[in-house]
Every structure is written in C-alpha cells, then in structure tokens.
Amino acid sequence: MPILGIYASSMQPALNASSYDSIATVTVGAGGTATVSLSSIPSTYKHLQVRITSLAPSLTSGLIYFNGGAGTYAWHELKGNGSSASATAGTSTNVLYSTYNETSTASYTGAAIVDILDYTNTNKAKTIRVLSGSDANGAGSVFLRSGVSSDTSAITSVNFIVSGGGNWAQYSSFALYGVKG
C-alpha cells in the first residue's frame, strides 16, 4: 500500500455503503416545482448528505435554506470551467448555494453532493460543503463551496429553491441520506 494510503486510512475509518441510510428521496413531478422540501429529518445521525440531479431551464443557482430560512449565512466558492478559475465569497447573506447550471437549456443536467455536518449539534454553527457542476455539451463548470449558518438550532428541514424564481424541472431528484457517526 502506498505511504499516503496508509496515512489516510489511519486518519479516518473507511466509509462504505453501510455508513449511509436513505432517509427520503423527492423526484419532481410533471410541471415542476418552485421548492423541494426535505422535512421531519430524524436526529439519529452524525451528518446529512443530499445528492441532487437538477434540471431547471432557468436555473442560475440552487439555494438552500435550513429550518424555513432561519439564520444568516456566509459562504465561499471556487469555480473552474476548463479554461479559467475564480473564487468568490459572501457574508451575512440569507442563503447558501447548492447547485449551478451553466445553460438555459433543460436538456443539460446539474449535479451536486451537499454534506451538512453535525446537523444536530446545538453548540455550534452548521457547516456545509458542496461539490457541484453541470455540463453544457463540453462547456460546463465545476464548483466547490463551503458555507456556515449562524443558527445553532438542530436542522430538522432543508429547502431547495431556484434563485430568481422558476421551477425545478420534472425528474430533478433530491436524495437525503443520514451519515452514521
């Protein structure tokens, strides 16, 4: 085993399929929907993960709100599109970002993995990390985001909306998993 592999395996136990429990999956129906809500989240896990495949012809960004939007948020973003890279940030905002679609064409899909860390710990702010991207026939982008909520309440619901209005298109999927600790 390579030295790096030995070091990495000693730092953290390996995660496997049994480390995740499927909690809920929402697939958007005909006509689309403005908001996807994952609610009644049990408090029995260490972390949460949401896996998203999004179709939204008017999508600029997918937005995340915890517990109905309580709190303020700060975030950081790294973006790459194959020819350039950029970094941005926001503080004292009322939203976190989950997905991004580069085009206005519904036939291109965006995807994201959103990790919500220590979601039940009421002694600290809630942190997320997001890996997302989209392809626009070879002209898409990839994003790495991190964010924090000022609210220390346990997270019991997560809502996803499309920035600037519009709907998540039919067949967009939001799968919520509990990560065992």
| DSSP line for 65-98 | EEGGG-S-EEEEEEEE-SS-EEEEEEEEES-EEE
- Total domain count for the chain? 1
The residue assigned the tokens 């989950």 is 98
At residue 31, what are phi and psi to the nearest 5 degrees?
A: 90, -15
Q: Residues with Cβ < 8 Å from 143, sequence gap 6 or more? A: 77, 78, 79, 97, 100, 130, 131, 132, 133
pLDDT below 50 — which residues of the chain? 1, 3-13
108 is a domain residue: yes
70 is a domain residue: yes
Residue 81, classified by CB atoms within 10 Å of its CB into exposed (0-12), middle (13-18) or buried (19+), is middle
25: containing domain: 18-179
Q: Which pTM was predicted?
A: 0.84
160 is a domain residue: yes
Look up residue 3 and give its two tokens: 């030295």
What pLDDT is recorded for position 63?
Answer: 81
pLDDT digits (tens, 9 = 90+) for 21-31: 999 999 999 98
What pLDDT is recorded for position 108?
Answer: 64
- Does residue 139 sit in helix, strand or coil? coil
8 is a domain residue: no
Q: Assign residue 175 the CATH number of its domain.
A: 2.60.120
Alpha helices in 74-170 (DSSP H): none
At residue 164, what are phi and psi to the nearest 5 degrees?
A: 75, 15
What pLDDT is recorded for position 8?
Answer: 43
